[in-house]
């Protein structure tokens, strides 16, 4: 049985929803196939032009915890740069969609999963959501735009504080520092999402698109330059013997479960 996360797309009126559906009992993760499927969803959204896009998991315990274990097993100094650049390409396409994109986070968003959420315009979180940019514990840096988007959201000093420690933030703390835009009470997330989306759906589509384009254009050159930097620095991380040992220990520990 494949342990890859299934990526699907559903349309309901003017709202499109990208679903991350993991195998039973496992959290959503990202591998090359998942990234390819995300890219296909973006292409279909560009074709059909809904007014709002939601990104969410079918699990109530996890949004996405980053790279799939099988993807990590195949990562080395030669393969990590294409892997980083592929994730950047897909996440940038999500960010550049003409309509508002909202990450609906229930449960854990960690590593590449948090990077996926930050590629969206807004992050709505349930009270049970948890967030961490946790790559340092394995000897990596964020590889899919996290160094850029985390800093843009919470500032340089806080980005350093939370990346250095890998601290797990609850939803309220994440909202207080600007990582999250809205926190919902348990069981009320869908109502909160619908309540926010209704005036967006009623607003002028072109005005929203133009406003988003202006803001994104201000950051695009820096974002695209950051992709190459993260790819290069990721290679350097994997050349570190300590990173190789940490990754081996992590994969061995996971493999015994």
Residue-by-residue pLDDT tens, the chain, 257 positions? 468 999 999 999 999 999 999 988 899 999 999 999 999 999 999 999 999 999 999 998 999 999 888 888 888 888 999 999 999 999 999 999 999 999 999 999 999 999 999 999 999 999 999 999 999 999 999 999 999 999 999 999 999 999 999 999 999 999 999 999 999 997 899 999 999 999 999 999 999 999 999 999 998 889 999 999 999 999 999 999 999 999 989 888 876 65
Does residue 193 form part of some domain?
yes
* 51: its two tokens: 């007014």
Does residue 76 form part of some domain?
yes
Does residue 257 form part of some domain?
no
- Residue 171, phi-psi category: left (phi > 0), alpha (psi -120 to 50), beta (remainder): alpha
Does residue 59 form part of some domain?
yes
Number of domains, the chain? 1
Structural domain range at position 89: 6-202
Please give the sequence-ordered ranges of beta strands (E in DSSP) within 5-141, or none if there are none.
6-12, 15-21, 52-57, 62-64, 101-105, 108-110, 122-126, 130-132
Does residue 246 form part of some domain?
no
What letter would DSSP give residue 79?
T
Instruction: Give the residue from 52, 43, 49 showing the smallest Cα distance to 103.
Output: 52
Say what the pTM is: 0.94
Q: What CATH number is associated with residue 179?
A: 3.90.226.10
Does residue 254 form part of some domain?
no
Element (H, E) at 8: strand 6-12
Looking up tokens 């959201």 gives: 153
């Amino acid at each position: 049985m494949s342990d890859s996360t299934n990526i699907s797309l559903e349309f309901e009126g003017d709202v499109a929803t990208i679903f991350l559906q993991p195998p039973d009992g496992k959290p959503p993760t990202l591998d090359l196939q998942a990234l390819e499927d995300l890219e296909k969803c973006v292409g279909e959204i560009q074709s059909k032009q809904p007014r709002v896009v939601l990104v969410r998991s079918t699990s109530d315990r996890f949004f996405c915890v980053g790279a799939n274990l099988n993807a990590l097993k195949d990562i080395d100094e030669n393969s990590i740069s294409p892997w980083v650049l592929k994730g950047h390409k897909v996440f940038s396409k999500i960010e550049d969609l003409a309509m508002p994109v909202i990450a609906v986070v229930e449960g854990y968003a960690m590593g590449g999963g948090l990077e996926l959420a930050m590629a969206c315009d807004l992050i709505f979180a349930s009270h049970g959501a948890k967030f961490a940019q946790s790559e340092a514990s394995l000897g990596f840096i964020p590889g899919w735009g996290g160094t850029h988007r985390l800093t843009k959201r919470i500032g340089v000093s806080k980005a350093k504080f939370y990346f250095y420690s890998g601290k797990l933030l609850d939803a309220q703390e994440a909202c207080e520092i600007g990582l999250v835009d809205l926190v919902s009470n348990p069981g009320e997330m869908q109502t909160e999402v619908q309540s926010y989306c209704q005036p967006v759906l009623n607003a002028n589509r072109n005005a929203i698109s133009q406003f988003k384009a202006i803001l994104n254009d201000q950051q695009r050159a820096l974002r695209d330059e950051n992709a190459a930097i993260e790819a290069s620095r990721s290679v350097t991380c994997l050349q570190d013997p300590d990173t190789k040992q940490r990754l081996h220990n992590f994969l061995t520990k996971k493999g015994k479960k």
